[in-house]
Amino acid sequence: MSDAPTDSKSVAADVAHASGTMSRLLGQSAGQGRSVTAWRVLSSLDRLGAQRVGDLAIEQRVAQPTMTGLVIRLEKDRMVKRQDDPKDRRVSLVNLTKAGRREIEGYRERAMNVLLGGIEGFSEEDQRVLARSVALLQQLNNQIAAGLDS
């Protein structure tokens, strides 16, 4: 490792590029034909529970008609179901089905196996560095999330 000063702007660009590339590659290798957005929606529903289509659209940064189309496709595949929102009958909530939960669990397992296959080829020292990097990335994620919440 070099003792040269770190250029924070270059590190930020490299982290953004590497994380975007990893997300895309995991989606391609573990996604079984579903879009990365579809997997993110299923994952969000798994983590957070039922959500409105509009809220899913905002979270995924897509137009509401785009999200409506995705939800319709996921409904046809029996991954999600819609039900009336008890707080506002004019809108519906999107829920993950049991089949959807199995799908997202399978996706996560396939993605983990893809990562594991690469990580196992690293030296022990590189694995320790990667483990420390993961902790730092999570800390960075928490800082970014806190900034979004304020």
Please state at what angle helix 8-30 crosses helix 124-149, rounded to 10 degrees: 100
The amino acid at 64: Q
Torsion of Cα atoms, 93 then 96 then 99 then 105, to 10°: 160
Residue 37 phi/psi, 5-degree rounding, is: -65, -40
Per-residue pLDDT of the chain (150 residues; tens, 9 = 90+): 556 667 899 999 999 999 989 988 888 888 888 988 999 999 999 999 999 999 999 999 999 999 999 999 999 999 999 998 888 888 899 999 999 999 999 999 999 999 999 999 999 999 999 999 999 999 998 999 888 876
The H or E element that residue 92 is part of is strand 88-96
DSSP letters of 20-45? Answer: HHHHHHHHHHHSTT--HHHHHHHHHH
What pLDDT does 69 receive? 97
| Confidence (pTM) | 0.79
* Alpha helices by DSSP H, the chain: 8-30, 36-48, 53-60, 64-76, 98-119, 124-149
Neighbours of 122 (CB within 10 A): 12
